[in-house]
Amino acid sequence: MSFKIASSPHQHNQRSTAHIMRLVALACLPGIAVQAVLFGYGVLIQLVLAIVTAWLSEALILKLRGKPVFARLKDNSALLTAVLLAIAIPPYAPWWIIVIGTAFAIIMVKQLYGGLGNNLFNPAMAAYVLLLVSFPLQMTQWLPPLSLQSVDLTPLDAVCSIFTHYSCSGFSLPQLQANIDGITMATPLDTLRTDLARGLTLDESLNRPVFFAFAGTGWLWLNLAYLAGGLLLIQQKIISWRIPLAVIASLFVLSAIATLAAPDTIAGPLFHLFSGGTMLAAFFIATDPVSASTTNKGRLVYGALIGLLVFLIRNFGGYPDAYAFAVLLANMAVPLIDYYTRPRTYGHRPRSELK
């Protein structure tokens, strides 16, 4: 008999890495469907571009490294990275945004460190941060939900907008960002941050059309869809409940305390939980089995740290939706977290008992 050593993620059951990655990608489908219904067909085009780029990039690097191409592509890790990045960027971002980001995630963040199981950082979030810092204009051009859009966009319009920056009718992305009242729209988190910086109170900002629901028009349903997919992953024992619970609980508690202290400037906990990419990050990104903490206690600390960083960056930093930065910073702390939360070896006796 031979003992085969495989790279992470490690599971106690008989599921292969390819099966785990495929299930995580499938669990994203409810959120992807809701995102397409709310924000248009652009997300589906971004998914196709990301997946094709991920497969080509992975195949190229594996070929250069002398590794088996098709065997490694079948583990579905490149597929999952492409899916997570594609649904995190604006659906109508230019085509080269997703191509650059996906290639960077696969080549620089994943393969440069030795491939699956060796990367220090979450590839999708590292690529997202690269794109956000390098191309802030393109990465913040979110269109309003379809119910608030001034122009009805067909699938062909989505293709034209992504590849030419103009719809088939000649509308540019800035024009498409205007709602039915002609007011340029942004995400709820970005709108709130901008309004508070202008001196408006929280209540005055929440009267805007983008805040039709407490978490923003459409964003509540989007987060609920990713929450449903995340709960399915927990039920199937694909991910541990500790990291999502710690992320959500940490953000909830901190925002609740801050709201009580400054009710005119800090949004309530439900707003933070169901706006932006909270549920997507808590269940699908923070739980990355390679770059996240591996001990039970460490996962709770790791998740709580992400929630803390998200709260601080959202309210006092320069970026409204802070999950990419929070996850990367927490990835850096994983070796220290794992070191101090290692389970005690069976039979171990403290030094104090040996004296």
DSSP string, 83-141: HHHHHHS-TTS-HHHHHHHHHHIIIIIIGGGTSTTT-SS-HHHHHHHHHHHH-HHHHT-
Asked whether residue 133 is assigned to any structural domain, the reply reads yes
**Terminal CA-to-CA distance of the chain, rounded, Å?**
45
pTM here is 0.88
Q: What residues of the chain score a pLDDT lower than 70?
A: 1-14, 178-186, 212-214, 345-355
- Residue 342 DSSP label: P
Letter for the amino acid at 4? K
Asked whether residue 44 is assigned to any structural domain, the reply reads yes
Phi, psi angle pair for 184, to nearest 5°:
-65, 130
At 144-201, the pLDDT tens digits run 777 777 777 888 988 999 999 888 888 777 777 766 444 455 677 887 878 777 888 7
Element holding 23 (H helix, E strand) = helix 17-27
Asked whether residue 137 is assigned to any structural domain, the reply reads yes
pLDDT of amino acid 81: 96
| CA 303 to chain centroid | 14
* Structural domains of the chain, count: 1
Q: How many CA atoms are closer than 13 Å to the CA of 83, on its beta-carbon side?
A: 22
pLDDT of amino acid 180: 47
Asked whether residue 342 is assigned to any structural domain, the reply reads no
Q: Can you give the residue range of the structural domain that contains 155?
A: 17-184
237, 27 Cβ separation under 8 angstroms: no
Asked whether residue 109 is assigned to any structural domain, the reply reads yes
Letter for the amino acid at 353? E
pLDDT of amino acid 182: 42
